Structure 1
Amino acid sequence: MNLPLNLEMDGTAILLPVRAQPRSSKNGIEGIHDGRLKVCVTQVPEKGKANKALLKVIQSALKLKRSQIELCKGETAALKVFRIHEISKEELYTRITAAAGKSR
C-alpha cells in the first residue's frame, strides 16, 4: 500500500506529519494533502487548545493510547509533526487509510 504520506522513522517511533485546521466546523481527519494528514478541530489555536484537540482526534481516529502519541514539532504552527510509538509503520498506514476513508 502506498499512501502519499511522508512517514519517517525516528528510532523506533514514527513521525507523522500533520496539517492542522483549527476553527473548523467539525473534528476529524479530512484526508491526506501535500504529504500530510489533514486534521480539523473546532478549537481555536490559543493556549494549546487546538493542539490538545488535535491529539485527541488523532488518538481516537487511529485507535492509539495516549502514551503512544506526542507532539514533537510545530507547537504554534499549522504544520505539525507527531511522534507515534509502539506501532509498526504498516499498521499505522492501515489505520490512517481507514480513518481518512471514513471522512469522505
Structure 2
Amino acid sequence: MKRPWRRDGDDLLLTIRLTPGAAREGVGGIWTDEKDGVWLMAQVRAAPEKGKANAALIKLLAKGLGHPATKFSLETGDTHRLKRLRIAGAGDALTARLETLTDML
C-alpha cells in the first residue's frame, strides 16, 4: 500500500488533503488523486483565510502525533487544499505512529 508520507533524511514529508471550515476537526481517510498520488485526509474548523486553516492543521497533527508543532512546516499548498508538510526530526517512533494511523483507515 502506498503511504501519504516518505522519509527525507531525518525528516518526513507528509501529503495532506485539507478540508477547512469543517463541522469537526480530525484526520481520517486516504484519498488517491488521478495521478495515483496518495493523500491523508484532514478536516479543520478554521476558515481558509490568512493561514488560519494551515495553522489549525499543524496544531491538529502535532497534538495527534505527539510531536512539537514547531517541527512542522508547510512546504507546498499554502492556498490550496493539497499540501505537503515537512516534519523535522521525525524519528522511527513518529513513523510508527503514522503507519498505525493509516493502517486503521
TM-score by length of 1: 0.81
The aligned residue for residue 35 of structure 2 is none
Unaligned runs of 5+ in 1: none
Letter in 2 for 1:64: H
Number of equivalenced pairs: 99
Kindly report structure 1 stretches of 4+ aligned residues shifted beyond 4 Å. 97-100
CA contact (8 A) 1:29 1:99 kept: no
CA distance in 2, matches of 1:81, 1:93: 16
The aligned residue for residue 25 of structure 1 is 23
The aligned residue for residue 60 of structure 2 is 57
Identify which of 92, 95, 101 aligns with 2:94.
92
1:72-99 deviations in Å (ceiling 9; x for gaps)? 11100000000011123x5334212444
CA distance in 2, matches of 1:94, 1:36: 17
RMSD between aligned residues: 1.9
Classify 1:55/1:47 alpha carbon distance in 2 versus 1 (closer, same or farther; 3 Å): same
CA distance in 2, matches of 1:27, 1:99: 16
